Amino acid sequence: MRVNKLLSSALYTVSALLFLIPQRVCGAEVVYSWHTNDKNIALTFDDGPHPVHTPEILDILEEYGIKATFFTIGQNVEWYNDIFQMEYAAGHEIGNHTYSHLNLRQLPYRAVCREIEQAENLVYETVEYRTRLLRPPEGAFGNDLCKAAAELDYTVICWSVDTLDWAHTPSDRIVQNVLENVKGGDIILFHDYISGDSPTPEALRTIIPALLDEGYHFVTVSELLNLK
Catalytic residues: 46, 191
Q: What counts of helices (H) and strands (E) characterise the chain?
A: 9, 10
Q: Provide the 8-state DSSP code for 11.
A: H
Say if residues 26 and 169 touch (Cβ distance below 8 Å).
no
Q: Which is closer to Zn ion, CB of 47 or CB of 120?
A: 47
Distance CA 184, CA 214 (A): 11
Say if residues 173 and 138 touch (Cβ distance below 8 Å).
no
Site for Zn ion contains 165 (CB under 5 A): no
- Cis bond upstream, residue 51 (ω within 30): no
- Which residue's Cβ has the minimum distance to Zn ion? 46
Q: Which is closer to Zn ion, CB of 96 or CB of 171?
A: 96
Buried b / exposed e over 174-193, threshold 16 CB at 10 Å, is bbebbeeebebbbbbbbbbb
Site string for Zn ion, 91-130 (x = CB under 5 A): ----------------------------------------
Distance CA 71, CA 44 (A): 7
Of the candidate residues 30, 33, 34, 47, the single one contacting Zn ion (CB under 5 A)? 47
Q: Which is closer to Zn ion, CB of 46 or CB of 144?
A: 46
Site for Zn ion contains 136 (CB under 5 A): no
Cβ 135 to Zn ion, closest distance in Å?
7
Site for Zn ion contains 186 (CB under 5 A): no
Distance CA 80, CA 64 (A): 24
Q: Which is closer to Zn ion, CB of 39 or CB of 105?
A: 105
Q: Is 159 exposed, middle or buried (0-12, 13-18, 19+ CB in 10 A)?
A: buried
Site for Zn ion contains 144 (CB under 5 A): no
Total site size for Zn ion, rule CB under 5 A: 3
Among the residue ranges 53-61, 137-145, 154-162, 197-205, the one whose residues contact Zn ion (CB under 5 A):
137-145
Cβ 144 to Zn ion, closest distance in Å?
18
Between CA 50 and CA 79, with CA 46 as vertex, the angle to 5 degrees is: 35
Site for Zn ion contains 46 (CB under 5 A): yes
Of the candidate residues 137, 185, 199, 201, the single one contacting Zn ion (CB under 5 A)? 137
Among the residue ranges 6-14, 39-47, 48-56, 140-148, the one whose residues contact Zn ion (CB under 5 A):
39-47
For the chain, the residue count is 228
Q: Which is closer to Zn ion, CB of 48 or CB of 185?
A: 48
Q: Which residues bind Zn ion (CB under 5 A)?
A: 46-47, 137
